[in-house]
Amino acid sequence: MEITIERLAKRYGDRPALDPISARIGQGEFVAVVGPSGCGKSTLLMLLAGLLPAGEGRVLLDEVPVDGPPAGVSVVFQDYARSLFPWLTVRRNLALAAVAERPARAELEHRIDRALRSVGLPDTAARFPWQLSGGQQQRVAIARALVAEPRVLLMDEPFAAVDAQTRADLQDLVLRLREEYGVTIVLVTHDVDESVYLADRVLVLSPAPGRVLRDLVVDLPAPRGQLVTKALPRFAELRAEVFRLVMRPVDGAAP
Amino acid sequence: MTSTVERMRAAAAPAALGIAGVALVVAAWAALVASGLVAERSLPSPLAVAAALPVVLGDPAFLAALADTGAAWLGALALASSAAVLLGLMLGSAPWIARPALVAVSALRSIPSTALIPLAILLFGLGAAMKVSVAVYAVLPIVLINTIAGIAGTEPLRMAAARSMRWPWWRRWLQLQLPSAVPSIVTGVRVAAGIALVVVVSAELLGARSGAGLAVVQYQQALRIDAAYATVTVIGVLGALLYAGLALAERRTIERMRIG
Amino acid sequence: MAERGRGGPASTVEPGTAERAGRLRRALRPLASLWLLAALLLVWELAARADPSPFLPPFSVVAARFGEDWFAPAPGTLLLSERFLDAVPVSLSRLARGWALAAVLGIAIGVLLGRSRAARALASPVIRFWMSVPGVAVLPIALQFFGVSDAVSVFLIAFGSVWIIATHTADGVAGVDPGWLRTARSLRLPRGALLLRVVLPAAAPSILAGLRVSLGFGLVLMIVAELYATTAGLGHDIALYQQTFRYPEMWSAFLLVALLGIALNGAVDLVERRVLRWRRRG
């Protein structure tokens, strides 16, 4: 699915959160959005997800304007504790993702099992979220996103609430899922390393109100791996460049 | 300036909706009576009830009854609250007895207060003491439980500090445990106030010599059903005002404790 | 396993036995807290014997009376006496009907109010008013409507409970974590699934608290209605014993009502613990 962002802007009351932004994200692309905190990157993601009404401009998914959460788009939030429903088992949590399209029973079971296998938690269907570790819960949240068979996966700081080791595991999981499911991914993060390591392109936003400072192509070879990729000189260069942009004081000069 | 206006508008909107809600209920009531679905002798029209209001409010017997109810209610609430707070302070600072006391209190209060009205009539006759005793039985445990809970919630660090400063027990009580239990106690008193009113009116209904609860019965038996409804309306409005006052006092106290 | 749970010499050897001993201690803790209650009952006994009063028979007399009044050896009656079978099912059925009616209406009203700020503003003065009218004050008027019948008790119990349940439900629904609601929206849950799978479970702690409080109220109001205007039931029995000077029987009825109250509370506890298992996380 192709995402087109046309002069999209948002303000909260008097305070502008996002200056008009335009961008295109192609089918199957992996785009990371980075920027200093409070720059509106999460707002941008909520607008793409149809969870916030746009102030100006619009978002098109394969030419269809977004007004409300669209079919074929799944969201993974940062806070798994407030995104998984603790009173439902893992299986029922996952089943909720397909309620809107009512697949046949067998089909649903198949999708749930496949999603759980994909995230490496095949034996947890009967458990409750609170019986799992934080990293496992975030995996369940990702599995739930997959059950809807999305063509776009939107992720809002999905690895911010877990420890470093778990974060690396989850990053590699996302890379594998991208291959397996062929989805378009937009990832919002404040972690510069993460954005360069995972994405094909990095959109760097300015401090609030956010606008695109740089649309940077990450020309690192696939497949990527924690040790190999992060040891490449080109990784260090890209990382330094993004870092400079994020840290740059506001001077109004666009690249 | 604009923000003041906006704030006033924001506060006015719910109030206007609330008035609309009351009007809606009264209109539905009038329509129900006009439709003839219910007999006028069961449910008089709102106009008839409104017309009976001055009659009720001008009836010295009713006003005396209302004063009786109010006195019994206030007396029971004051007696139960002060006894409960004292008892709670004593029990709350000794954990070895606090739990058994809570178990005993919750077992003893398992008899619904209203079931004890016949016993209270035997013991105290039909006067104010009967109403007050049943109401005290009903609400003392509520305030007591809240007091003990409030004291149990005293910041342990502050308790340790007080001990290390060698405060005597009475100083720990007055300056630390009591203040930190106040929000919980006030909440208990607010809840108790509503229940005490229910119990006092119940007792009046079942055999007191006077009171607002009895007034409803007397009007009903005198076939002045409109006056009975008017009495219920007066009781409801007074109760709502009382509740609003107590809720405000509760908020104020809790706010002050937070700042302090 | 249960055998070893009793402690004994094996408990020092096996791993996990310390935990089991802890569980045992936890199971016994309520019993350890009962001594004060026992002491108070003893005081009652001694006081009543030292200064005999017809109104306050000793506890032992009440307990003996309790056994005679409410239980019978006949196996066909589940060991319950005729008196029990005449009074308790009648009373409990009133309570159950009134409380169930209040629960259904209260939760429905509460969800409506909790989901819409405007509805809350519209209804809150009306609800505040009805909450402030002691249910009992409406009793004479309910008699006018229903005559002396079961319906009066059921109405009174429902009327006295419904507002508590409605306000608790409304608070719970209005306070559902916005994170869960946002997730539900992104999953494009239809209305029914949103309500049943997300809103009601998330508001369950508050709803159950309302149900618990209202059950106590319901019991109080059940007794009032039965004292005032019925021809059967526990409240009616209490009034009868009082008027016919059968004070030990009156006390035995108090005891039964108290035990029923404790049993009902225990039942709500069980349901609560089962439904709210998820809250014990972390």
Q: What is the ipTM of this complex?
A: 0.88
Asked, for residue C228, whether it belongs to a domain, the answer is yes
Q: How far apart are CA C102 and CA C90, in angstroms?
A: 18
Whether residues C261 and B213 touch (CB distance < 8 A) is answered with: no
Angle of helix C150-174 relative to helix C139-146, nearest 10 degrees?
120
pLDDT at C4: 36
Rg (CA), chain C: 24
Q: How far apart are CA B197 and CA B88, in angstroms?
A: 23
CB A141 within 8 A of CB A75: no
Q: Classify residue A17 as left (phi > 0), alpha (psi -120 to 50) or beta.
A: alpha
Asked, for residue C69, whether it belongs to a domain, the answer is no
User: Does the beta carbon of C63 lie under 8 angstroms from any beta carbon of chain B?
Assistant: no
Q: Is the pLDDT of residue C1 over 50?
A: no
Q: Is the pLDDT of residue C5 over 70?
A: no
Give me chain C's average pLDDT, please: 85
Nearest to B192 by CA among B102, B91, B74: B74
Q: Which of C136, C255, C261 sits opposite B201 (nearest CB)?
A: C136
Q: Angle at the Cα of A192 (from A191 to A196), degrees rounded to 5?
A: 120
Burial of residue B20, with CB atoms counted within 10 A of its CB: 0-12 exposed, 13-18 middle, 19 or more buried: middle
Q: Report the half-sphere exposure of C204 (CA within 13 A, side-chain side).
A: 20
Q: What is the pTM of this model?
A: 0.84
Q: Which of B42, B138, B242 sits opposite C144 (nearest CB)?
A: B42
In chain B, where the domains are located:
1-38, 44-259
pLDDT at B114: 86
Q: Which CATH superfamily is domain B44-259 in?
A: MetI-like (1.10.3720.10)
pLDDT at C280: 67
Segment holding A185, helix H or strand E:
strand A184-188
The answer, yes or no, to whether the previous bond of A223 is cis (omega within 30 of 0) is yes
Mutation target vs C (from A43, A82, A147; most C CBs, 10 A cutoff) = A82
Q: Kindly report the backbone phi and psi dihedral angles of residue A185, in degrees, each rounded to the nearest multiple of 5, phi listed first.
A: -125, 130
A38 secondary structure, DSSP code: T
pLDDT at B104: 87
Q: Which residue of C has its CA nearest to B43?
A: C145
Report the 10 Å Cβ neighbour count for C97. 17
pLDDT at B5: 61
Q: Is the pLDDT of residue C9 over 90?
A: no
The tens digit of pLDDT for each residue in A183-231 reads 999 999 989 999 999 999 999 998 878 888 889 998 888 888 888 898 8
Taken in order A23, A26, A27, A29, the sign of the CA dihedral is negative
Spatial CB neighbours of C119, under 8 Å, sequence gap ≥ 6 = C112, C113
User: Does the beta carbon of C144 lie under 8 angstroms from any beta carbon of chain B?
Assistant: yes
Q: Is the pLDDT of residue C2 over 50?
A: no
Nearest to C40 by CA among B140, B101, B240: B101
pLDDT at C154: 93
Asked, for residue C60, whether it belongs to a domain, the answer is no
Chains within contact range of chain B (3+ C-beta pairs < 8 Å)? C
Compute the average pLDDT of residues C149-162: 90
Q: How far apart are CA C251 and CA C114, in angstroms?
A: 44
User: Does the beta carbon of C191 lie under 8 angstroms from any beta carbon of chain A?
Assistant: no
Whether residues C220 and B197 touch (CB distance < 8 A) is answered with: no
Token reading at C155: 């109405």
User: Does the beta carbon of C190 lie under 8 angstroms from any beta carbon of chain A?
Assistant: yes
Nearest to A161 by CA among C279, C277, C179: C179
Which positions 165-194 of C are in contact with B (Cβ < 8 Å)?
none
Per-residue pLDDT band at A146 (split at 50, 70, 90) = very high
Pairing of strands A201-205, A212-217: antiparallel
The tens digit of pLDDT for each residue in A16-34 reads 888 889 999 999 999 999 9
Q: In this structure, what is the dihedral angle of CA atoms C155, C157, C159, C160, given to the nearest 10 degrees?
A: 160
Q: Which of C55, C141, C216 sits opposite B119 (nearest CB)?
A: C55
Report the 10 Å Cβ neighbour count for A222. 9
Q: Which residue of A has its CA nearest to C194?
A: A96
Q: How far apart are CA B143 and CA A121, in angstroms?
A: 50
Q: Which residue of A has its CA nearest to C192?
A: A99
How far is B87 from chain C, CA to nearest CA, in Å? 15
Q: How far apart are CA C27 and CA C21, in angstroms?
A: 10
Q: Report the half-sphere exposure of C28 (CA within 13 A, side-chain side).
A: 10
pLDDT at A152: 94
As beta bridge partners, residue A74 has A153
The tens digit of pLDDT for each residue in A118-132 reads 999 999 999 999 999
Q: How far apart are CA B151 and CA A150, in angstroms?
A: 54
CB A183 within 8 A of CB A28: yes
Percent of chain B with pLDDT over 90: 17
Q: Report the half-sphere exposure of A59 (CA within 13 A, side-chain side).
A: 25
Least confident of A124-133, A244-253, B37-46, C30-39: A244-253
Whether residues B112 and C222 touch (CB distance < 8 A) is answered with: yes
State yes or no: chains B and A have 3 or more CB pairs below 8 A: no
As beta bridge partners, residue A184 has A152
Which positions 204-243 of C are in contact with B (Cβ < 8 Å)?
216-217, 219-224, 227-228, 234-235, 238-239, 242
Greater pLDDT, A80 or A111: A111
Q: In total, how many domains does chain C have?
A: 1
Whether residues C132 and B236 touch (CB distance < 8 A) is answered with: yes
Q: Which of A71, A79, A96 sits opposite C197 (nearest CB)?
A: A96
How far is C280 from chain A, CA to nearest CA, in Å? 8
The tens digit of pLDDT for each residue in B123-165 reads 888 888 999 999 999 999 999 999 988 888 777 788 788 888 8
Whether residues C122 and B21 touch (CB distance < 8 A) is answered with: yes
* Domain at C258, CATH number: 1.10.3720.10
pLDDT at A253: 47
Taken in order C194, C195, C196, C199, the sign of the CA dihedral is positive
Give me chain B's average pLDDT, please: 85
Segment holding C266, helix H or strand E:
helix C247-275
Whether residues B220 and C141 touch (CB distance < 8 A) is answered with: yes
Q: Is the pLDDT of residue C17 over 70?
A: no
Percent of chain C with pLDDT over 70: 88
Asked, for residue C257, whether it belongs to a domain, the answer is yes
Whether residues C189 and A96 touch (CB distance < 8 A) is answered with: yes
All residues of chain C having their beta carbon less than 8 Å from the beta carbon of residue B237 are 129, 132
Q: Is the pLDDT of residue C13 over 70?
A: no
CB pairs under 8 A between B and C: 181
Most confident of A28-37, B7-16, B24-33, C104-113: C104-113
All residues of chain C having their beta carbon less than 8 Å from the beta carbon of residue A82 are 177, 179-180, 183
Per-residue pLDDT band at C206 (split at 50, 70, 90) = very high
Nearest to C214 by CA among C131, C112, C109, C125: C131
Asked, for residue C63, whether it belongs to a domain, the answer is no
State yes or no: chains A and C have 3 or more CB pairs below 8 A: yes
Q: Which residue of C has its CA nearest to A153?
A: C186
Q: Which residue of A has its CA nearest to C274?
A: A87
What range does the domain containing C271 cover?
77-281
Q: Is the pLDDT of residue C112 over 50?
A: yes
Compute the average pLDDT of residues C52-64: 88
Compute the average pLDDT of residues B160-185: 83
The answer, yes or no, to whether the previous bond of C125 is cis (omega within 30 of 0) is no
Chains within contact range of chain A (3+ C-beta pairs < 8 Å)? C
Between the CA of residue B27 and those of B30, B45, B51, C122, what are the distances in Å? 5, 10, 16, 14
Whether residues B114 and C223 touch (CB distance < 8 A) is answered with: yes
Q: How far apart are CA A211 and CA A203, in angstroms?
A: 10
Whether residues B237 and C129 touch (CB distance < 8 A) is answered with: yes
Per-residue pLDDT band at B1 (split at 50, 70, 90) = very low
Asked, for residue C12, whether it belongs to a domain, the answer is no
Q: Which residue of A has its CA nearest to C182?
A: A51
- The amino acid occupying position A146 is L
Q: Which residue of B has its CA nearest to C242?
A: B118
Give me chain A's average pLDDT, please: 89
Mutation target vs A (from C176, C185, C188, C208; most A CBs, 10 A cutoff) = C188
Per-residue pLDDT band at A106 (split at 50, 70, 90) = very high
Compute the average pLDDT of residues B205-219: 81
CB B151 within 8 A of CB B92: yes
Q: Which residue of C has its CA nearest to B221?
A: C140
Q: Is the pLDDT of residue A84 over 90?
A: yes
Segment holding A186, helix H or strand E:
strand A184-188
Per-residue pLDDT band at B259 (split at 50, 70, 90) = low
How far is A86 from chain C, CA to nearest CA, in Å? 6
Between the CA of residue B185 and those of B126, B144, B190, what are the distances in Å? 31, 8, 9
Whether residues B194 and C132 touch (CB distance < 8 A) is answered with: yes
Per-residue pLDDT band at C201 (split at 50, 70, 90) = very high
Q: Which residue of C has its CA nearest to B99?
A: C33
